């Protein structure tokens, strides 16, 4: 009898060890994924308030070949079932039940990204966000004034207020959230640049620096010319000379600009026509990057008051109008 009892005890222990080994193997074994044709990952969306049992069912429904009861049991056994966070996730090839739970508990959502390049105007920024993958287009429904109010900046013109950079976001995030981060980034970069400004610049405020930086951004073809271009505009502002910069005129024409800037456009007075109005335009005309911000507050010391594009991205700088006219004849008119 004792032998039988020992045999059954041993058999039970062996079964328990086998079950434990199977469970450990299962926890670390890659999940089989039944992804859509051409897809490499499974999309998993967990809404706020989803129970751990429903999460396990959602994993199976996404295409992971797993028994929801076993997965829910693992969630419970781990003691972390209630720590699973809502969000948008990707189940990738090779992911095990253990790694899956770690991802859900840490809230490691799958991220997308959108790049806002230097020099975009506000309309182009919105168009870029509109094309971004799985980004909720809430900003697209708002007027510029409504949008800035939603960002906590009522009464502020949106042009130039967003820092050009690459921003990551979770799937289903709002474009307003991206814009809010970009606005905070511009605040920070502008404050840093203003704190490094040269003394006695003809700029009254950080906003003046932002406006000038936006012009420098649009006028710069070759990065090494940027500080020199800043120096030209600072020289002109110091003596009250018209800035006479085409990008501001083009911005003022708005949708009326057909790609060809004519003499009549240079004579048509708008708040942004720096051929007819002295000083800086009322707002930025585009998003300046860090280098343009620094060029506005740390311009090169130069005798130049003029510059003209040479056709290779760089510019020719001139201290006198006669020299400038010769450069225009050479590089623009081919004389």
CATH superfamily for 27-106 is: Endolytic murein transglycosylase (3.30.1490.480)
pTM surpassing 0.75? yes
Distance CA 171, CA 152 (A): 24
Of residues 47 and 23, more confidently modeled: 47
Predicted pLDDT at 221: 92
Residue 206 reports pLDDT greater than 90? yes
Helix axes 246-253, 206-219, angle to 10 degrees: 100
Tens digit of pLDDT for each residue in 128-164? 999 998 899 999 999 999 999 999 999 999 999 999 9
The band of 302, judged by pLDDT with boundaries at 50, 70 and 90, is very high
Residue 289: phi, psi to the nearest 5? -85, -175
Q: Which residues pair with 167 in a beta bridge?
A: 114
Residue 196 reports pLDDT greater than 50? yes
Domain ranges of the chain: 27-106, 111-190, 197-331
Predicted pLDDT at 6: 46
Q: What mean pLDDT is predicted for residues 223-248?
A: 97
Residue 42 reports pLDDT greater than 70? yes
Q: What mean pLDDT is predicted for residues 186-211?
A: 97
Nearest CA-CA partner of 159 in 117, 204, 203, 214: 214
Q: Where are the alpha helices (DSSP H) in the chain?
A: 2-28, 52-62, 68-78, 97-106, 122-131, 144-150, 175-195, 206-219, 226-239, 246-253, 263-267, 290-297, 321-331
Predicted pLDDT at 289: 97
The band of 107, judged by pLDDT with boundaries at 50, 70 and 90, is confident
Q: Which residue has the tokens 């859509």?
A: 36
Predicted pLDDT at 117: 97
Tens digit of pLDDT for each residue in 16-26? 444 555 556 66
């Amino acid at each position: 009898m004792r032998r039988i009892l020992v045999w059954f005890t041993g058999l039970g222990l062996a079964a328990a060890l086998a079950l434990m080994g199977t469970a450990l193997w299962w926890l670390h074994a890659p999940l089989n994924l039944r992804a859509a044709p051409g897809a490499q990952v499974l999309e998993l969306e967990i809404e706020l308030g989803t129970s751990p049992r429903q999460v396990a069912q959602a994993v199976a429904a996404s295409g992971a070949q797993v028994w929801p009861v076993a997965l829910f049991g693992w969630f419970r056994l781990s003691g972390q079932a209630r720590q699973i966070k809502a969000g948008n996730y990707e189940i990738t090839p090779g992911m095990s039940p253990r790694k899956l739970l770690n991802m859900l508990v840490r809230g490691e959502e799958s991220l997308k990204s959108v790049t806002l390049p230097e020099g975009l105007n506000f309309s182009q920024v919105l168009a870029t966000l509109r094309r971004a993958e799985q980004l909720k287009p809430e900003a697209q429904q708002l007027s510029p004034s409504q949008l800035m109010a939603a960002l906590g900046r009522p009464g502020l013109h949106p042009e130039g207020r967003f820092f050009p950079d690459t921003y990551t976001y979770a799937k289903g995030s709002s474009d307003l959230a991206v814009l809010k981060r970009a606005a905070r980034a511009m605040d920070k970069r502008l404050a840093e640049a203003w704190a490094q400004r040269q003394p006695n610049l003809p700029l009254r405020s950080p906003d003046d620096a932002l406006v000038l930086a936006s012009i420098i951004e649009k006028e710069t073809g070759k990065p090494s010319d940027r500080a020199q271009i800043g120096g030209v505009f600072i020289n002109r502002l110091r003596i009250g000379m018209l800035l006479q910069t085409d990008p501001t005129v083009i911005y003022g024409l708005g949708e009326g600009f057909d790609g060809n800037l004519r003499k009549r456009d240079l004579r048509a007075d708008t708040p942004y026509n720096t051929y007819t109005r002295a000083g800086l335009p009322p707002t930025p005309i585009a998003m300046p990057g860090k280098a343009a911000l620094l060029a506005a507050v740390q311009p090169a010391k130069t005798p130049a008051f003029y510059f003209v594009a040479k056709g290779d991205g760089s510019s020719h700088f001139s201290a006198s109008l006669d020299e400038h006219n010769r450069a225009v004849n050479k590089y623009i008119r081919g004389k």
